[in-house]
Amino acid sequence: MNPTKEKRALTESEMIESLQRSGYLFESEIAKTLQELGFFVEPNQVIIDQLTGKSREIDMTAEYHKYNAERAEYKVSGKIKFVFEIKNNSFPIALLSRYKYSPNTDMDSLFKFVETGVTFGFGTGDPAFYDGPTDLELRKNIFTQYCSFQQKKTGEELMAVHPDELYSGLSKVTQHCEDEVRWWSERDRSSAAIADYTRQFYFLPVILFKGDLYEVMLEDSAAPKLISVDCSRFIFNYHYNEKRSHALVYFLTQKGLVKFLEEMIIWEEQIERDLFELKKAQPIKKVKKFTFSSGEILLTSASFDLLTNLFDSSIKPLFEKLIKTLMEFDTDFLSANKYWYSGNSVMNTLSELGDFWNEEQNLRSNKDINFQYRLSGYKKAGVDAFDIVVHLTFTMEAYWYGFTLTNYNRQQPFIRKMYHESLENEIDEICDMIREDIMNNIETRLQRIG
């Protein structure tokens, strides 16, 4: 019989060294840094993995604490929520394959954000992400591939690898951001808590490294050049709810964290300030009301037959006319594209929209049908080229239908009608209004460029 081995006591230095190698201590250091900068920190947040159905932990989320009494009175809030995965990497991380513009990439969908009430920013506003915090040159480089390094045995040549733990971290932070957007999107938009408050919330996925971060640059036929950086950006592609999606993920080093956050706080303040100024200045326009000659209003609840007739008499003719109107601007931009979406359905043509409409369950399950027309790269602005997005929402309530245009009329319907009423002469009026809104928007953007 072998004698039982006695367990020796661990020394304090051994335990500290173990903590330092594990990364737990690094997470605590980052949480302390964030708190000292004025952030609320929530460690160990949980998501339900879409593949396994099991709980997985996010290292931490953080929001900057601020309060402005005047803006609060106007029910305005602009906020960035940072979603952190923290890596105590022993080998450097390298970003490769610099992103080049493609008209197939919907830049808006790279950013995970929600808006309620009157909005200012994405769409017809002035997205601060495109102008960017210049000190960190955040808009200069975006990459589409990453790697790290390892040696299998001492003395062997270094190998470039695609670490599983980094992919796992990317999956977790992007899913958390998608979950946040989904939670807000599924809330009742007609409730006072949504409609009366002007919000613009951004959810930013961040991978924070203790070790070195590099960008790999290829210049003509020269050898690749490694450039040490403290902040860069990466486009991560994935599936969410069985649909393809992508997100812009920030890669940071511990050294670059504070400077990055200081820039983001400035940008967050700009978001809220712009929201406040817009809401304070924008008048409420009266919603159109329709009565019969007898003075009585006939209320009719929505039915599939009424909605079918409405599509043929009003919705289809409206979009036919509106698309022709919007195409007038196509030659002023590098590219243009359009689509409709509702729930999990996306329609690229008016015919597909008709097929969607003809399924009664689709109309029962979805209160809103959204139309987006994106004009990308205004040519006359040169290097300051910008995008214009028209976002028109058709809403079905119990006794009326209506249309809302993003950044117009305090995000309230600019027209409402009962279901037995067609749009009749309003089609030309709506198209002219949207045309004028685009022209005013282009003029405002050019004035800002100077």
Confirm if 423 and 318 have CB atoms less than 8 A apart: yes
Residue 386 · residue 329 · CB < 8 Å: no
113 in Cβ contact with 181 (< 8 Å): yes
* Beta carbons within 10 angstroms of residue 92's beta carbon: 16
- List the chain domain ranges: 19-281, 304-449
CB 236 within 8 A of CB 246: yes
Q: What is the pLDDT of residue 237?
A: 93
Distance (Å) of CA 164 to CA 146, 147, 161:
12, 10, 9
In sign, the C-alpha dihedral spanning 270, 274, 280, 286 is negative
Give the per-residue pLDDT at 399: 82
> What is the C-alpha separation between 178 and 233, in angstroms, rounded?
18
- Cβ-based neighbours of 286, under 8 Å, separated by 6 or more: none
Which is nearest to 205 in space by CA: 293, 121, 85?
85
How many CB atoms are located within 10 Å of the residue 16 CB? 11
pLDDT mean for each 10 residues of the chain (450 residues): 64 79 81 93 89 88 89 87 91 89 71 73 37 40 89 76 91 94 75 69 94 86 85 93 90 94 90 82 49 41 82 94 95 93 89 93 88 92 88 88 82 84 88 91 82
Instruction: Report the C-alpha gap between 44 and 393 in whole angstroms.
Output: 37
Which of these, 214, 249, 207, 248, lies nearest to 230 by C-alpha position? Answer: 214
Amino acid at 399: Y
CB 209 within 8 A of CB 166: no
Helix, strand, coil percentages, rounded to 5, for the chain: 35, 30, 30
Q: Which two tokens stand for residue 363?
A: 């109309």
pTM, entire model: 0.62
Taking CA atoms, 86 is separated from 11, 35, 211, in Å, by: 27, 16, 11
Separation in Å, CA 282 to CA 41, 276, 287, 404, 410:
35, 10, 15, 15, 7
Q: What is the model's pLDDT at position 340?
A: 94
